[in-house]
Amino acid sequence: MDANPLAHSLLLQCLKRLNKTSALVCEGKINITPRSHNDYLTASTPDRLAAHDYLNALARQVPQLQICYHAEGFDEIPILKSIVIGNTRAVLKALNIDVLAEVIEADIQLLQTQLQTAPSWLQDAFRELADTWRNSKSIHRFSNNRKDALLLGIRFASWLAAQDNLNIDFRTASVKAFGDSKTLENNLPAITDVLILSGRHDLSIAYSHAEILAEWGVSKFSPLLRIRGKCRLELRNSAISTLGATPYIAMPLEQLTAISLASPSPYILLIENLSSFERYCREIDDDGVIIYTSGFPPRQWIAPVQRLIAAVQCPVYHWGDIDLGGYQILAHLDRQLDGKVIPFRMFNEPASNENRIDLKALTDTIAAASNSHISHLHKLISEALKQNKVVCSVEQESLDPVSPLHFA
Protein backbone atom coordinates (compact mmCIF):
# COMPACT_ATOMS: atom_id res chain seq x y z
CA MET A 1 0.00 0.00 0.00
CA ASP A 2 1.52 3.28 -1.17
CA ALA A 3 1.79 5.88 1.58
CA ASN A 4 -0.41 8.94 1.37
CA PRO A 5 1.70 12.02 2.26
CA LEU A 6 -1.01 13.79 4.28
CA ALA A 7 -2.02 10.64 6.17
CA HIS A 8 1.58 9.64 6.75
CA SER A 9 2.39 13.08 8.19
CA LEU A 10 -0.67 12.86 10.43
CA LEU A 11 0.32 9.43 11.72
CA LEU A 12 3.87 10.56 12.41
CA GLN A 13 2.53 13.46 14.50
CA CYS A 14 0.38 11.03 16.47
CA LEU A 15 3.13 8.46 16.93
CA LYS A 16 5.58 11.13 18.11
CA ARG A 17 3.60 11.25 21.36
CA LEU A 18 3.91 7.50 21.84
CA ASN A 19 7.26 6.53 20.27
CA LYS A 20 9.51 8.32 22.78
CA THR A 21 13.24 8.06 23.34
CA SER A 22 12.70 7.27 27.03
CA ALA A 23 10.16 4.48 26.52
CA LEU A 24 7.48 3.23 24.15
CA VAL A 25 3.95 4.23 25.17
CA CYS A 26 1.95 1.11 24.31
CA GLU A 27 -1.35 2.77 23.45
CA GLY A 28 -2.97 6.17 23.19
CA LYS A 29 -5.72 8.34 21.79
CA ILE A 30 -4.79 11.44 19.81
CA ASN A 31 -7.46 14.07 19.17
CA ILE A 32 -7.24 15.90 15.86
CA THR A 33 -7.16 19.62 16.70
CA PRO A 34 -6.39 22.81 14.72
CA ARG A 35 -3.44 23.53 16.99
CA SER A 36 -1.65 20.23 16.38
CA HIS A 37 -2.99 19.09 13.01
CA ASN A 38 -3.67 22.24 11.02
CA ASP A 39 -2.12 20.78 7.85
CA TYR A 40 -4.85 18.14 7.75
CA LEU A 41 -7.73 20.47 8.66
CA THR A 42 -6.77 23.06 6.03
CA ALA A 43 -6.08 20.54 3.29
CA SER A 44 -8.29 20.41 0.21
CA THR A 45 -11.27 18.06 0.22
CA PRO A 46 -9.72 15.63 -2.34
CA ASP A 47 -6.51 15.47 -0.27
CA ARG A 48 -8.42 14.79 2.95
CA LEU A 49 -10.55 12.10 1.32
CA ALA A 50 -7.44 10.42 -0.09
CA ALA A 51 -5.89 10.50 3.40
CA HIS A 52 -9.05 8.94 4.84
CA ASP A 53 -8.87 6.10 2.30
CA TYR A 54 -5.29 5.37 3.31
CA LEU A 55 -6.05 5.51 7.06
CA ASN A 56 -9.11 3.27 6.70
CA ALA A 57 -7.12 0.71 4.69
CA LEU A 58 -4.34 0.76 7.31
CA ALA A 59 -6.93 0.27 10.09
CA ARG A 60 -8.22 -2.85 8.28
CA GLN A 61 -4.63 -4.13 8.11
CA VAL A 62 -3.86 -3.29 11.76
CA PRO A 63 -6.90 -4.02 13.97
CA GLN A 64 -5.32 -2.12 16.90
CA LEU A 65 -5.69 1.14 14.92
CA GLN A 66 -9.06 2.91 15.08
CA ILE A 67 -9.95 5.92 12.93
CA CYS A 68 -12.74 8.05 14.40
CA TYR A 69 -14.74 10.76 12.58
CA HIS A 70 -17.00 13.55 13.75
CA ALA A 71 -20.72 12.89 13.37
CA GLU A 72 -21.85 14.28 10.03
CA GLY A 73 -24.95 14.91 8.01
CA PHE A 74 -25.92 12.97 4.90
CA ASP A 75 -23.94 15.06 2.42
CA GLU A 76 -21.15 16.40 4.65
CA ILE A 77 -17.48 15.62 4.08
CA PRO A 78 -16.16 13.47 6.99
CA ILE A 79 -13.60 15.09 9.29
CA LEU A 80 -11.27 13.15 11.56
CA LYS A 81 -12.03 13.41 15.27
CA SER A 82 -9.33 11.17 16.73
CA ILE A 83 -6.94 8.33 16.06
CA VAL A 84 -6.87 5.57 18.65
CA ILE A 85 -3.78 3.36 18.74
CA GLY A 86 -4.32 0.23 20.79
CA ASN A 87 -0.92 -1.31 20.03
CA THR A 88 1.79 1.21 19.19
CA ARG A 89 4.37 -1.45 18.31
CA ALA A 90 2.01 -3.03 15.74
CA VAL A 91 1.31 0.31 14.07
CA LEU A 92 5.04 1.16 13.98
CA LYS A 93 5.77 -2.23 12.40
CA ALA A 94 3.11 -1.69 9.73
CA LEU A 95 4.68 1.66 8.88
CA ASN A 96 8.23 0.25 9.00
CA ILE A 97 9.22 2.65 11.81
CA ASP A 98 11.71 1.63 14.50
CA VAL A 99 10.86 1.68 18.19
CA LEU A 100 12.90 4.74 19.12
CA ALA A 101 13.64 3.74 22.71
CA GLU A 102 15.10 0.45 21.53
CA VAL A 103 17.23 2.16 18.91
CA ILE A 104 18.49 4.60 21.55
CA GLU A 105 19.36 1.78 23.94
CA ALA A 106 21.27 -0.08 21.24
CA ASP A 107 23.16 3.11 20.35
CA ILE A 108 23.95 3.76 24.02
CA GLN A 109 25.31 0.25 24.47
CA LEU A 110 27.48 0.59 21.36
CA LEU A 111 28.88 3.96 22.50
CA GLN A 112 29.52 2.76 26.04
CA THR A 113 31.42 -0.24 24.68
CA GLN A 114 33.61 2.09 22.59
CA LEU A 115 34.17 4.41 25.53
CA GLN A 116 35.50 1.59 27.71
CA THR A 117 38.82 1.69 25.84
CA ALA A 118 38.80 5.46 25.19
CA PRO A 119 40.99 7.99 27.03
CA SER A 120 39.77 8.89 30.51
CA TRP A 121 38.92 12.46 29.47
CA LEU A 122 36.49 11.07 26.89
CA GLN A 123 34.92 8.69 29.39
CA ASP A 124 34.40 11.62 31.77
CA ALA A 125 32.97 13.86 29.04
CA PHE A 126 30.32 11.31 28.04
CA ARG A 127 29.52 9.83 31.44
CA GLU A 128 25.98 11.27 31.24
CA LEU A 129 25.39 10.15 27.64
CA ALA A 130 22.77 7.49 28.45
CA ASP A 131 20.47 9.70 30.52
CA THR A 132 20.93 12.61 28.12
CA TRP A 133 19.96 10.66 25.01
CA ARG A 134 17.04 8.97 26.78
CA ASN A 135 15.71 12.46 27.49
CA SER A 136 16.03 13.50 23.81
CA LYS A 137 18.84 15.94 24.55
CA SER A 138 22.32 16.45 23.12
CA ILE A 139 25.58 16.04 24.97
CA HIS A 140 28.53 18.15 23.78
CA ARG A 141 26.64 18.86 20.53
CA PHE A 142 26.00 15.15 19.90
CA SER A 143 22.40 13.98 19.72
CA ASN A 144 21.57 10.33 19.09
CA ASN A 145 21.15 11.30 15.42
CA ARG A 146 24.92 11.94 15.35
CA LYS A 147 25.74 8.52 16.74
CA ASP A 148 27.88 7.48 13.77
CA ALA A 149 29.78 10.78 13.85
CA LEU A 150 30.45 10.40 17.57
CA LEU A 151 31.73 6.87 17.05
CA LEU A 152 34.24 8.16 14.49
CA GLY A 153 35.33 10.91 16.86
CA ILE A 154 35.88 8.49 19.74
CA ARG A 155 37.74 6.09 17.47
CA PHE A 156 40.09 8.79 16.19
CA ALA A 157 40.65 10.32 19.63
CA SER A 158 41.50 6.88 21.03
CA TRP A 159 44.00 6.31 18.23
CA LEU A 160 45.57 9.73 18.76
CA ALA A 161 45.93 9.18 22.51
CA ALA A 162 48.00 6.06 21.84
CA GLN A 163 50.58 7.93 19.70
CA ASP A 164 53.75 9.65 20.94
CA ASN A 165 55.15 12.86 19.40
CA LEU A 166 52.90 12.56 16.38
CA ASN A 167 53.78 14.50 13.23
CA ILE A 168 51.61 13.21 10.42
CA ASP A 169 49.47 14.36 7.50
CA PHE A 170 45.68 14.02 7.28
CA ARG A 171 45.60 11.20 4.74
CA THR A 172 48.18 9.01 6.52
CA ALA A 173 46.51 9.58 9.89
CA SER A 174 43.16 8.63 8.36
CA VAL A 175 44.53 5.39 6.92
CA LYS A 176 46.13 4.44 10.22
CA ALA A 177 43.07 5.28 12.31
CA PHE A 178 40.25 4.21 9.97
CA GLY A 179 41.80 2.16 7.18
CA ASP A 180 40.62 4.77 4.67
CA SER A 181 42.45 7.88 3.48
CA LYS A 182 39.43 10.23 3.31
CA THR A 183 37.44 9.44 6.45
CA LEU A 184 39.24 12.06 8.55
CA GLU A 185 38.73 14.95 6.10
CA ASN A 186 35.12 13.92 5.42
CA ASN A 187 34.27 14.01 9.13
CA LEU A 188 36.34 16.92 10.48
CA PRO A 189 33.48 18.68 12.36
CA ALA A 190 32.56 15.59 14.37
CA ILE A 191 36.15 14.58 15.07
CA THR A 192 37.19 18.05 16.21
CA ASP A 193 34.01 18.35 18.31
CA VAL A 194 35.34 15.35 20.24
CA LEU A 195 38.98 16.48 20.42
CA ILE A 196 38.03 19.90 21.81
CA LEU A 197 36.78 18.08 24.93
CA SER A 198 40.33 17.01 25.82
CA GLY A 199 41.12 20.21 27.71
CA ARG A 200 44.07 21.00 25.43
CA HIS A 201 42.30 23.95 23.89
CA ASP A 202 41.14 27.29 25.24
CA LEU A 203 37.40 27.11 24.65
CA SER A 204 37.15 30.90 24.39
CA ILE A 205 39.02 30.68 21.08
CA ALA A 206 37.24 29.85 17.83
CA TYR A 207 39.75 27.33 16.48
CA SER A 208 39.47 26.02 12.95
CA HIS A 209 39.36 22.26 12.41
CA ALA A 210 42.94 22.37 11.12
CA GLU A 211 44.18 24.26 14.19
CA ILE A 212 42.60 21.75 16.57
CA LEU A 213 44.20 18.82 14.75
CA ALA A 214 47.55 20.63 14.51
CA GLU A 215 47.65 20.69 18.32
CA TRP A 216 47.72 16.88 18.16
CA GLY A 217 50.41 16.76 15.47
CA VAL A 218 48.09 16.15 12.51
CA SER A 219 48.13 18.53 9.54
CA LYS A 220 47.21 18.47 5.86
CA PHE A 221 50.89 18.63 4.98
CA SER A 222 53.96 18.72 7.16
CA PRO A 223 53.99 22.34 8.40
CA LEU A 224 56.99 24.52 7.57
CA LEU A 225 59.17 26.70 9.71
CA ARG A 226 59.74 29.91 7.74
CA ILE A 227 62.63 31.91 9.19
CA ARG A 228 65.00 34.71 8.21
CA GLY A 229 68.14 35.66 10.11
CA LYS A 230 71.53 34.36 11.17
CA CYS A 231 70.57 31.03 12.64
CA ARG A 232 71.54 27.41 12.76
CA LEU A 233 68.84 24.80 12.20
CA GLU A 234 69.46 21.42 13.79
CA LEU A 235 67.83 18.65 11.76
CA ARG A 236 67.41 14.96 12.48
CA ASN A 237 70.60 13.94 10.70
CA SER A 238 72.36 17.20 9.91
CA ALA A 239 72.43 20.97 10.45
CA ILE A 240 71.82 23.96 8.16
CA SER A 241 72.98 27.55 8.40
CA THR A 242 70.47 30.17 7.32
CA LEU A 243 73.22 32.68 6.46
CA GLY A 244 72.69 33.91 2.92
CA ALA A 245 69.20 32.42 2.64
CA THR A 246 67.21 35.11 0.81
CA PRO A 247 64.56 36.22 1.46
CA TYR A 248 64.15 33.42 4.04
CA ILE A 249 64.42 29.66 4.43
CA ALA A 250 61.56 27.18 4.87
CA MET A 251 62.06 23.82 6.55
CA PRO A 252 59.53 21.02 7.23
CA LEU A 253 59.02 20.97 10.98
CA GLU A 254 59.14 17.19 11.04
CA GLN A 255 62.88 17.45 10.24
CA LEU A 256 63.65 20.21 12.74
CA THR A 257 64.92 19.49 16.25
CA ALA A 258 66.34 22.85 17.38
CA ILE A 259 67.07 26.45 16.38
CA SER A 260 69.95 28.55 17.67
CA LEU A 261 71.41 31.96 16.83
CA ALA A 262 74.61 31.92 14.77
CA SER A 263 75.42 35.43 16.06
CA PRO A 264 73.70 37.91 18.40
CA SER A 265 70.47 39.39 17.05
CA PRO A 266 68.92 42.75 18.05
CA TYR A 267 65.44 41.20 18.15
CA ILE A 268 63.22 38.29 17.20
CA LEU A 269 59.94 39.11 15.47
CA LEU A 270 57.07 36.62 15.13
CA ILE A 271 54.61 37.49 12.33
CA GLU A 272 51.08 36.09 12.12
CA ASN A 273 50.24 36.43 8.42
CA LEU A 274 52.20 35.10 5.46
CA SER A 275 51.85 38.18 3.23
CA SER A 276 53.25 40.42 5.95
CA PHE A 277 56.07 37.96 6.61
CA GLU A 278 56.94 37.82 2.91
CA ARG A 279 57.00 41.63 2.63
CA TYR A 280 58.99 42.08 5.81
CA CYS A 281 61.70 39.64 4.71
CA ARG A 282 62.02 41.41 1.37
CA GLU A 283 61.74 45.03 2.50
CA ILE A 284 63.45 45.20 5.90
CA ASP A 285 67.19 44.65 5.84
CA ASP A 286 68.65 44.31 9.34
CA ASP A 287 69.96 41.56 11.61
CA GLY A 288 66.61 40.69 13.20
CA VAL A 289 65.38 37.09 13.24
CA ILE A 290 61.94 36.88 11.61
CA ILE A 291 59.70 33.83 12.09
CA TYR A 292 56.29 33.15 10.55
CA THR A 293 53.80 31.72 13.06
CA SER A 294 51.37 30.20 10.50
CA GLY A 295 48.46 31.94 12.24
CA PHE A 296 47.93 29.76 15.31
CA PRO A 297 51.30 28.00 15.37
CA PRO A 298 51.14 24.20 15.27
CA ARG A 299 52.47 22.18 18.17
CA GLN A 300 55.61 21.19 16.21
CA TRP A 301 56.44 24.90 15.81
CA ILE A 302 56.17 25.69 19.51
CA ALA A 303 58.88 23.36 20.84
CA PRO A 304 61.91 24.57 18.80
CA VAL A 305 60.87 28.24 18.97
CA GLN A 306 60.33 27.91 22.71
CA ARG A 307 63.88 26.58 23.17
CA LEU A 308 65.30 29.33 20.95
CA ILE A 309 63.59 32.10 22.90
CA ALA A 310 64.58 30.62 26.25
CA ALA A 311 68.24 30.87 25.21
CA VAL A 312 68.36 34.44 23.87
CA GLN A 313 68.66 37.81 25.59
CA CYS A 314 67.17 40.01 22.85
CA PRO A 315 63.53 41.21 22.89
CA VAL A 316 60.91 38.96 21.29
CA TYR A 317 58.07 40.73 19.48
CA HIS A 318 54.84 39.47 17.98
CA TRP A 319 53.04 41.31 15.18
CA GLY A 320 49.51 40.21 14.34
CA ASP A 321 46.06 41.41 13.37
CA ILE A 322 44.28 43.88 15.62
CA ASP A 323 41.13 41.84 16.11
CA LEU A 324 39.90 39.07 18.38
CA GLY A 325 41.70 36.34 16.45
CA GLY A 326 44.98 38.24 16.49
CA TYR A 327 44.74 38.79 20.23
CA GLN A 328 43.91 35.14 20.82
CA ILE A 329 47.11 34.19 19.00
CA LEU A 330 49.03 36.76 21.08
CA ALA A 331 47.64 35.27 24.31
CA HIS A 332 48.44 31.76 23.10
CA LEU A 333 52.06 32.71 22.31
CA ASP A 334 52.38 34.42 25.69
CA ARG A 335 51.35 31.19 27.42
CA GLN A 336 53.52 28.93 25.27
CA LEU A 337 56.65 31.11 25.21
CA ASP A 338 57.03 31.75 28.92
CA GLY A 339 55.60 35.27 28.90
CA LYS A 340 58.42 36.73 26.80
CA VAL A 341 56.36 38.03 23.89
CA ILE A 342 56.07 41.80 23.38
CA PRO A 343 53.05 42.94 21.29
CA PHE A 344 54.26 44.93 18.28
CA ARG A 345 51.97 47.38 16.42
CA MET A 346 48.87 45.73 17.89
CA PHE A 347 46.93 48.83 18.94
CA ASN A 348 46.40 52.41 17.74
CA GLU A 349 47.16 51.56 14.11
CA PRO A 350 44.98 52.95 11.26
CA ALA A 351 41.91 50.77 10.69
CA SER A 352 41.78 48.69 7.51
CA ASN A 353 37.99 48.29 7.48
CA GLU A 354 34.83 49.36 9.29
CA ASN A 355 34.48 46.23 11.41
CA ARG A 356 34.19 47.41 15.00
CA ILE A 357 36.13 45.47 17.62
CA ASP A 358 34.53 44.30 20.83
CA LEU A 359 37.06 45.89 23.19
CA LYS A 360 35.71 43.96 26.15
CA ALA A 361 36.45 40.71 24.32
CA LEU A 362 40.01 41.91 23.63
CA THR A 363 40.65 42.74 27.29
CA ASP A 364 39.19 39.39 28.39
CA THR A 365 41.46 37.57 25.93
CA ILE A 366 44.71 39.00 27.31
CA ALA A 367 43.62 39.54 30.94
CA ALA A 368 45.48 36.48 32.24
CA ALA A 369 48.88 37.51 30.82
CA SER A 370 51.53 38.26 33.45
CA ASN A 371 53.81 39.82 30.84
CA SER A 372 54.20 43.53 31.66
CA HIS A 373 54.10 44.53 27.99
CA ILE A 374 50.78 42.77 27.44
CA SER A 375 49.49 44.17 30.72
CA HIS A 376 50.27 47.65 29.37
CA LEU A 377 48.35 46.80 26.19
CA HIS A 378 45.46 45.63 28.36
CA LYS A 379 45.52 48.98 30.19
CA LEU A 380 45.40 50.95 26.92
CA ILE A 381 42.40 49.00 25.67
CA SER A 382 40.64 49.28 29.03
CA GLU A 383 41.02 53.07 28.87
CA ALA A 384 39.55 53.12 25.36
CA LEU A 385 36.68 50.97 26.61
CA LYS A 386 35.97 53.38 29.49
CA GLN A 387 35.94 56.30 27.04
CA ASN A 388 33.52 54.43 24.73
CA LYS A 389 35.93 54.76 21.85
CA VAL A 390 35.08 53.10 18.56
CA VAL A 391 37.99 50.92 17.42
CA CYS A 392 37.94 49.06 14.11
CA SER A 393 39.97 46.00 13.23
CA VAL A 394 43.34 46.20 11.48
CA GLU A 395 44.62 43.43 9.22
CA GLN A 396 48.37 43.57 9.39
CA GLU A 397 48.58 43.15 5.61
CA SER A 398 47.22 46.70 5.35
CA LEU A 399 50.29 48.05 7.16
CA ASP A 400 53.73 48.55 5.65
CA PRO A 401 56.50 46.59 7.36
CA VAL A 402 58.53 48.57 9.90
CA SER A 403 61.39 47.17 11.99
CA PRO A 404 61.14 47.26 15.79
CA LEU A 405 64.52 49.05 15.63
CA HIS A 406 62.67 51.99 14.06
CA PHE A 407 60.86 52.54 17.36
CA ALA A 408 63.88 52.01 19.59
**CA dihedral angle for residue 248, residue 252, residue 257, residue 263, rounded to 10 degrees:** 0
What are the φ and ψ backbone dihedral angles of 21, each rounded to 5 degrees? Answer: -70, -30
Decide yes or no: CATH 3.30.360.10 for domain 222-404: no
Distance CA 80, CA 63 (A): 18
Name residue 392's beta-bridge partners: 356
Name the β-bridge partners of 292.
Answer: 271
Task: Tell which residue, 201, 248, 243, 227, has the closest CA to residue 304.
Answer: 227
Return d(Cα 228, Cα 249) in angstroms, integer: 6
- Pick 208 or 148 by higher pLDDT: 148
- Looking at this protein, which amino acid is placed at residue 189? P
Identify how many contiguous H helices and E strands the chain contains and give both numbers. 17, 14
User: Residues 226, 250: contact at Cβ < 8 Å?
Assistant: yes
What pLDDT digit, counting tens, does each position of 344-358 carry?
999 989 888 888 999
Beta carbons of 331 and 366 less than 8 angstroms apart: yes
Q: What is the pLDDT of residue 201?
A: 77
Instruction: Tell me the per-residue pLDDT of 230-285, one tens digit each, with 9 for 90 and over.
Output: 999 999 889 999 988 899 999 988 889 999 999 999 999 999 999 999 999 999 99
Angle in degrees, CA 359, 362, 368, rounded to 5: 135
Mean per-residue pLDDT, 166-188:
91
Whether pLDDT at 294 is above 70:
yes
Given pLDDT bands bounded at 50, 70 and 90, which one contains residue 15? very high
Residue 73 has pLDDT above 70, yes or no: no
Supply the pLDDT for residue 74: 64
Per-residue pLDDT band for 115 (boundaries 50, 70, 90) equals very high
Closest-CA residue to 381 (of 396, 359, 365, 364): 359
| CA gap 42, 32 in Å, rounded | 12
CA angle 344, 346, 349 (to 5 degrees): 115
Read off the amino acid at residue 55: L
Measured between alpha carbons, how far apart are the two ends of the chain, in Å? 85
Cα-based distances in Å from 311 to 14, 239, 308: 71, 18, 5
- Cα dihedral 348, 353, 359, 365 sign: negative
Residue ranges per structural domain of the chain: 3-93, 98-217, 222-404
Rounded distance between C-alpha atoms, residue 202 and residue 253, angstroms: 24
363 and 385 in contact (C-beta within 8 Å)?
A: yes
| pTM value surpassing 0.75 | no
Tens digit of pLDDT for each residue in 296-339? 888 889 989 999 999 999 999 999 999 999 999 999 999 999 89
Nearest to 319 by CA among 289, 348, 341, 350: 341
The amino acid that residue 304 corresponds to is P
